[in-house]
Every structure is written in C-alpha cells, then in structure tokens.
Amino acid sequence: MVDNPSVLKTAAERAESLPRAVQLKRLVLFDIDGTLLHSDGAGREAIRQALLAVYGTAGPIETFSFAGNTDYQNFVGLLRGAGLSQEEIAARLPQAMALYPQRLREIIGRFRVRTCPGVAPLLERLTAHPELEVALLTGNLEEAAWIKLRAAGLDRFFTWGAFGSEARERTELPPVAVEKAHQRTGRRFAGKEIVIIGDTPADITCGQPLGVRTLAVATGPYPREALRAWEPDFLFEDLADADAVLEAILRPL
C-alpha cells in the first residue's frame, strides 16, 4: 500500500497523461442514414434534382434502393436504370455529384429530419468515453453527410469520418477509416477493436475483410430478422439502450 499522498497524486497524473493511443480501445464507426437519422427523403429529392439538371433524367428514382450504397453507386445505378451508357454517365458525373450537395443544402429545411431512437444520448456517452474514438463510416458524399448531420443536430458529436467521396464501394471505406484514425490518434486499430454500427447488410459485410465487430440496428429499411441472417456480432432493435450498446462495443476481444 502507498501511504504518501504525493505519490498517489503522481500515479493518477501519470495515468491521465498517457498518450491517447494507449488509452484508446475501440474505433467506433457510425453509418448515417437509417442508423443515426432519417432525412425524410431530402437526399433522394436532391439527387433527383441534380440528375435532372445535368442529365435530363433521374432514372427510376422513386423505386431505386439507396440502402447501403455509396452516393457513387446511387448515381450510377439510377443512370444505368435510365438506359445511359457508361461513357455517357462518366462524362457528366462529376458535375452531377457536385450539384447534389448544393441542392441538398437548399431544400433540407423543408424536410422533417429526425434522429433515430436513443442516438443523441448514446453519442453523448460514447464521445465522452476516454477509451473510444468515434467517427463516421458512410456512403454519403462528405458535404452531404455534414448537411444531414447539422439538420439533425448531430454534427457536434463528430469531427471526422470515411465518406462516399473517398470510395466507390462501401467495402473500400473501413481501410480509409483505419488509416485516418491512425493519423489522428497514433493508434492503428485492427480486427474487433474496430466497431461498425449500421442498419443494412452492407454495413455488416463491409468490414469483414478486416475482421471488425459489427452492431446492426433495425431502425432502417431492414427488419431485425432480415439483418440477423447476415450474422452481425450484435443486433439491436434501436440504439435506445445505451448501456447495452456500450457493453457490446467494449466487450473483451
């Protein structure tokens, strides 16, 4: 036993002064649409406007599923559905994708953007936890992602992420996030130290090559039983039980 208070104080100070890379135990990566928030169709409408302005068609915009896609996949899928060739798509795609967040910013105030159950209290806890680095992993273009988060009042919880601006397919995003986390924290997270939280099968499978931990949540278009078939490590109806979610994130490897 140490009786000298000054020694105890020094030990506490020493613990607090550990490099953040040593303190951190998990990299927690959140999807946006259907996981953190619902944008009430604002994204779909802004993409429709951008495609009509640039290509004169938005393809099968009313029926096309955006779930789990990157924005690149949404744009290309819609344009292929309209019968455009790859050459026709590629010629004007940068213009259309640049116009999309502009249109989203203009119209999002007309839509009822809302957070999913329990999200804000959960993020309050996770972002204050010294063992967690919390960020985004989303198919949204970065500018569009921040527009949606600001509209839902969730932008204050995040400073960085891996975005659809940086990859054509979601499977390319986990390595981007790992590299960014290493640059920011000095720690190279690996395997189940990485936790991906999302509402689609693509969120569950995108990190499989890295052996990540997956938390699926049934607040998007897929019901609980449909997500269960993809064998996530944990499955929640929603994120309202912060204690259970935190326990799943920090469960020993």
pTM: 0.92
Query: Tens digits of per-residue pLDDT, 119-142?
Result: 999 999 999 999 999 999 999 999
Q: Give me the residue spans of the domains in the chain.
A: 5-39+113-250, 42-110
Query: Tens digits of per-residue pLDDT, 227-242?
Result: 999 999 999 999 999 9
CATH number of 42-110: 1.10.150.240
Residue 16, pLDDT score:
55
User: Once rounded to an integer, what is the mean pLDDT over residues 47-71?
Assistant: 98
| DSSP per position, the chain | ----HHHHHHHHHHHHTS-HHHH--EEEEE--BTTTEE-TTHHHHHHHHHHHHHHS---STTT---TT--HHHHHHHHHHHTT--HHHHHHHHHHHHHHHHHHHHHHGGGS--EEPTTHHHHHHHHHH-TTEEEEEE-SS-HHHHHHHHHHHT-GGG-S-EE-GGG-SSGGGHHHHHHHHHHHHHS----GGGEEEEESSHHHHHTTGGGT-EEEEETTSSS-HHHHHTT--SEEES-S--HHHHHHHHHS--
Residue 94, pLDDT score:
98
CATH topology of domain 5-39+113-250: Rossmann fold (3.40.50)
User: Once rounded to an integer, what is the mean pLDDT over residues 102-111?
Assistant: 99
Residue 17, pLDDT score:
56
